[in-house]
Amino acid sequence: MANPSSGKQSWSDRKRFTRIIPMLAVMYLLALICRNNIGYAFGGMNESFNLSATITGLVGGIFFIGYLLLQIPGGHFAQKVSAKKIITICMIAWGLVSISMGLIQSGNQLLIMRFLLGVSQSMLYPTALILIGKWFPQSERARAIGYWSIGATASSFIVGPLSGFLVDMFSWKMMFVIQGIPVLIGVFFWIWLVAEKPSEAKFLSDAEKKYLEEEFAKDALAQQGSGQDNWKLALKDKFVWILTLVFLLNNMFNYGLSIWWPTIAKSFTGSSYTIVGMLSTLAPLIALLVMFIVSNHSDKTGERKWHAASILLASGLALLVSALTGASPFISVAFILLAQGIWGGFSAVFWSIPSIIISSAAIGAATGLINGIGNLGGFVGPYLFGYLIDSTGSTKVGLFFIVGVQLLAGILLATLRNPKLKAAQLEIQQKNKDRMKNEGVSK
């Protein structure tokens, strides 16, 4: 029998892609629907509780204050205890909170529940990344994260049309209730279908287990940790803070734009929330194409930094065109959708960078730190966008603001210098050459 690591694996020996990734994608899809539906409730919230644009932005962004709280311990516990159990607890908690948001009676209660929704999802992202790290070696990781991110892209197809329809057909409160129920149902499938690591998975073949053992052993040799198990290592690493700042600025752009998208599009086009939701599906169509091309090309070449930085710069420039063409509403909306679509290819490549340049001993805490503090951009972006609406009476200044932070994020990432990035690039290129050579021999 041929050595499974010597050539390209058949899909029968890659069940980690067809079992683990789909479940992670569905889980994350449900999380993002419950997180990002808030923009479609803005109109009803304002009518029910008489909220200003600044407070409305605060409602949209306060999620990320709660989201910060358990990021670092989430990454640590996922690595040392059980990523599967942590995600199970998160799903139960955010499902219950989402349903409870349909019962609120005041603006203060709305703020509290959005905060608790953030807390309930705060361990989710770093835990999912740690789980992917347990199942996918470095040479496959960008693709794995990219395929997982399809859940995020798919949520963009669903959250807009579904949320818009539910608000128009029922009410903004019923939207929260109806979208929270599938999360609690999904918990049972998660527990049944997902294993913590390959050694515990009965559905893996011996060939796939052997392949993973060999690949993880190679990765361990290439990435020697300090031997310490201390979150302080992450706090002392300057590259952790550079990546955190990049992610913070990027999320100011992403959430400032996405949470206020229904309001912007509705005011520009005069359409119903259902039509606005349908328009929103154009962005993920672009994102799927960008994600597929960028993540596969990044894995083929082994290059990570410039792939991610180029996406930041391109999405910022697309939104700049939108801000400059505000007198032509449909052109402006088209470039907003283009900016969101280009942005969709960012996460898959960006999240392959930390595991390259940060020591294995610090990666769990570092992932939580980058994602946790970085996601505070999800608070700052929507809040300042709302404040600028109140201050200027229009959305134009807000658009220029988030254009600036996105371009700054791209420039900052482009200037990052770390020799491990080049070394990892050359190693992956050599692995790809060896595989192609072995495939040629086997044929």
Q: Does residue 388 contact residue 266 with C-beta atoms inside 8 Å?
A: no
Cα gap 335→355, rounded to integer Å: 33
HSE value, Cβ hemisphere, 13 Å, CA-based, for 405: 25
Token pair in block for residue 301: 């070449």
> Which amino acid type is present at position 5?
S
Q: How many CB atoms lie within 10 A of CB 426?
A: 11
Q: Would the pTM count as exceeding 0.85?
A: no
CA angle at residue 189 from 99 to 193, to 5 degrees? 150
Cα gap 424→406, rounded to integer Å: 27
pLDDT per residue rounded down to tens, the chain (443 residues): 334 444 455 544 577 888 888 899 999 999 999 998 999 999 889 889 988 899 999 999 999 899 888 877 877 788 788 899 999 999 999 999 999 999 999 889 999 999 999 999 988 888 998 899 888 888 788 788 878 877 777 777 888 999 999 999 999 999 999 999 999 999 999 998 888 888 788 788 778 888 888 888 887 776 654 444 456 777 777 888 999 999 999 999 999 998 988 888 887 777 888 999 999 889 888 988 898 888 888 888 888 888 899 999 999 999 999 989 877 888 889 999 999 999 988 988 898 888 888 877 777 778 878 877 888 899 999 999 999 989 998 888 889 999 999 999 999 999 988 877 777 777 777 776 767 666 665 55
Q: How many CB atoms lie within 10 A of CB 46?
A: 17
Q: Does residue 68 contact residue 372 with C-beta atoms inside 8 Å?
A: yes
Cα gap 26→154, rounded to integer Å: 9
Helices 138-148 and 282-301: crossing angle in degrees, nearest 10, is 180
